Amino acid sequence: MTEQEKAERFAKSAPPLRDGELEAINALFPTYIFRRSCTEEIWTTCCHEHTTVGIEDMRVTTPERNFLAVMWEPHQREPRNRWCEPAKPHVECPFCGKPAIVKELRYTGKRENLSSYRRAVVLRWYRGALWARAYDCGKHYTAGYDLAGDPTYKLVGVYRFRPGLAEATTRSWYGNSPFGHIEKQDGPLTKGRWNIHAPFSANADYGIGYDVIGLDEIQESPFRYCCAADFKLSGSRLLEFLTACCFYPRQIEMLMKAGMKDVVTDLVDRGVKHATVIDWDDPKKAFKLNRQDMKTFLGTNRDIRILELHKRLKSRIPLTQCAEWISRGIDIQRTVRAAKKWNIPLEKLIRYLDGYVGCAQYGGMSSLSSALRFWEDYLTAAEAMGYLLHRENVLLPRNLGAAHDEATKKHQAKLERERAAQRREWERQQQAERAERERQARLAEEKYEERRKKLEKKYGFAMDGYVIRAPLGKDEILAEARKLQHCVGGHADRHILGQTTILFMRKVKKPDEPWLTIEMNGNKLVQIHGFKNEGLHTTKGRFAPDPREVYREFLDTWLDWMEKGSRRDKKGNPKLPKKKGAAA
Ligand SMILES: [Zn+2]
């Protein structure tokens, strides 16, 4: 037999739903009374009645059979969305007395909005085992459904609980998938969580919780003393709870009866066993306590941490004292860690810290855990300041408040000094870098004169009252940029270093007045711009004409001359080709 066949067979062996159980499922849904006033018909969804209300019925106005109220009750609308208040029942069903919502049929449209879904887990003691069957249930009132009919239901999970064995099979949520395989929990929980879980919900929108039907069936089972009814069912952990009951019935009984439901919840929900204080293997000595201690413990608020602390303190401290420390907010794990780290007996540390809890002078110590943080704060500072923490009077100072404030103050000051030193060092570095940059620039400028001469030789040019020359230095480029309000200033350093070439075009009569600025790449003119780059480009175009166009003849002649090798006469003036039509 395949896994799937085994699972199907297991599911089939579960007891089928019986009438009472189906009615209990029906009762999970809202109760409607549908009414057709014109024919005086009513349908009840609670008790499946469909009848025509006669004159005789109308006269009956006892609370049990109040037809008149049903006929007079106005139609109740459904809330517009799920955040609105749900409709509330205003009348009682004249047949069974259940509070009901009246719906006048002609106002209900197709009634799709009345469809609702529930997940129900139905328990039954059957053939020597406690069975749980999970159903996805729905009620629908659209065309094709009986207004007074039963809910629809689909089996989505089957569980069988016996001492020492819990089994389950579930369908996955999509489509009509079959039961896949049987999950088993056949031994006590050793690590991790239980193998048995509630089935995945197809209607996650409606919450994955479920309603439990047949809780009293547990009374027939071996788990009758486990107080399942007292276990918090709203968390929908009943299936896991029953799984735990298969293995630890006596312990669960004892814990539930001792009012220690949270310990059971830890076991059921998270697989947490509090094994240091609870013996899950031998129910006879479950708490690992003697009779007298057990009596004392039952006299406290029965917080499991009291036992844990007691255990941590090697059972030497009375339980009442442990309970006192728990009530004063001790963080057991953290305190144990700190005691171990600083090599102090746990009891000594707790007593030391306890001496400061509620200390008016130091408001930060309102509980044992905040006192611990306060002390650890002191240690952080003391360690950084090189205090001799191996000495007990330094590790556990007589006046923790004062010692804390002094140490943290010193530590703060030290940190401040370190930060200031870091800042100074950073500033020094910045300054050094700046100086180095300036030195490089100066060096470049010193060497620039040589470069300028070369540029002058290659590019220097004069004709028709215009002159082109190289800048004298960085300052001149900056002055040019300032005067013309364009961006050449940003290129000054690059020009000096030879990474780009900037030239000035001037009028011969005003050789020192900035006018047009040129950027060259070898023999190629990259750009030429004057005041404000001829006005910024706007949607209407430039404000001033492009100098490359206006001085095209001059510039082309210059570029042409340069292309041919920048030839000059003996005086250094450029040699130009004869102009066409010029006098010889
Ligand atoms: Zn009814």
pLDDT digits (tens, 9 = 90+) for 27-47: 999 999 999 999 989 999 999
Please state, in angstroms and rounded to a whole number, the distance separating the CA atoms of residues 219 and 225: 8
Burial 17-50 (b: 16+ CB within 10 A, else e): beeebbbbbbebbbbbbbbeeeebebbbbbbbee
Task: Identify the residue with better confidence: 492 or 79.
Answer: 492
Query: Which pLDDT does position 63 carry in this prediction?
Result: 65
Ligand 1 centroid vs 97 CA: distance in angstroms?
6
pLDDT interval class at 584 (50, 70, 90): very low
Kindly tell me if the per-residue pLDDT of 299 is higher than 90. Answer: no
Query: Which pLDDT does position 236 carry in this prediction?
Result: 63
Ligand 1 centroid vs 99 CA: distance in angstroms?
8
Q: Rounded mean pLDDT of the chain?
A: 87
Ligand 1 centroid vs 118 CA: distance in angstroms?
20
Please state, in angstroms and rounded to a whole number, the distance separating the CA atoms of residues 161 and 245: 9
The pair of structure tokens assigned to 344 is 């102090």
Ligand 1 centroid vs 55 CA: distance in angstroms?
20
Kindly tell me if the per-residue pLDDT of 581 is higher than 60. Answer: no
C-alpha closest to that of 29 among 89, 106, 95 = 89
Ligand 1 centroid vs 45 CA: distance in angstroms?
7
Please state, in angstroms and rounded to a whole number, the distance separating the CA atoms of residues 161 and 172: 21
Ligand 1 centroid vs 95 CA: distance in angstroms?
5
Ligand 1 centroid vs 87 CA: distance in angstroms?
18
In contact, 161 and 246? CB cutoff 8 Å:
yes
Max distance between CA atoms of the chain, in angstroms, equals: 138
Please state, in angstroms and rounded to a whole number, the distance separating the CA atoms of residues 559 and 523: 7
In contact, 567 and 575? CB cutoff 8 Å:
yes
Ligand 1 centroid vs 47 CA: distance in angstroms?
4
Ligand 1 centroid vs 148 CA: distance in angstroms?
10
Burial 60-85 (b: 16+ CB within 10 A, else e): eeeeeebbbebbebeebeeeeeeeee
The per-residue pLDDT for range 115-126, each reduced to its tens digit, is 998 889 999 999
Q: Which residue has the tokens 């844990």?
A: 308
The per-residue pLDDT for range 417-457, each reduced to its tens digit, is 999 999 999 999 999 999 998 898 888 888 899 999 999 99
Kindly tell me if the per-residue pLDDT of 377 is higher than 70. Answer: yes
Kindly tell me if the per-residue pLDDT of 192 is higher than 70. Answer: yes
Please state, in angstroms and rounded to a whole number, the distance separating the CA atoms of residues 577 and 94: 121
Q: Which residue has the tokens 């804390």?
A: 404
Ligand 1 centroid vs 106 CA: distance in angstroms?
21
Q: Taking residues 300-304, what's their average pLDDT?
A: 85
Kindly tell me if the per-residue pLDDT of 201 is higher than 60. Answer: no
Ligand 1 centroid vs 119 CA: distance in angstroms?
22
Please state, in angstroms and rounded to a whole number, the distance separating the CA atoms of residues 63 and 96: 11
Ligand 1 centroid vs 90 CA: distance in angstroms?
14
Query: Which pLDDT does position 582 carry in this prediction?
Result: 45
- Beta-strand pair 129-139/152-162: antiparallel
Contacts of 458 (CB under 8 A, 6+ apart): 562, 566
Ligand 1 centroid vs 150 CA: distance in angstroms?
13
116-126: strand order across its sheet = 183-185, 165-170, 152-162, 129-139, 116-126, 211-213
Q: Taking residues 465-483, what's their average pLDDT?
A: 91
CA 396 to chain centre: 40
Query: Which pLDDT does position 556 carry in this prediction?
Result: 93
Query: Which pLDDT does position 188 carry in this prediction?
Result: 87
C-alpha closest to that of 464 among 509, 523, 503, 527 = 509
Kindly tell me if the per-residue pLDDT of 234 is higher than 60. Answer: no
Query: Which pLDDT does position 575 carry in this prediction?
Result: 86
Ligand 1 centroid vs 445 CA: distance in angstroms?
104
pLDDT interval class at 157 (50, 70, 90): very high
- Beta-strand pair 116-126/211-213: parallel
Contacts of 407 (CB under 8 A, 6+ apart): 378, 381, 382, 385, 387
Kindly tell me if the per-residue pLDDT of 547 is higher than 80. Answer: yes
Query: Which pLDDT does position 8 carry in this prediction?
Result: 92
The per-residue pLDDT for range 52-95, each reduced to its tens digit, is 987 777 777 676 678 888 888 889 888 777 676 777 888 999 88
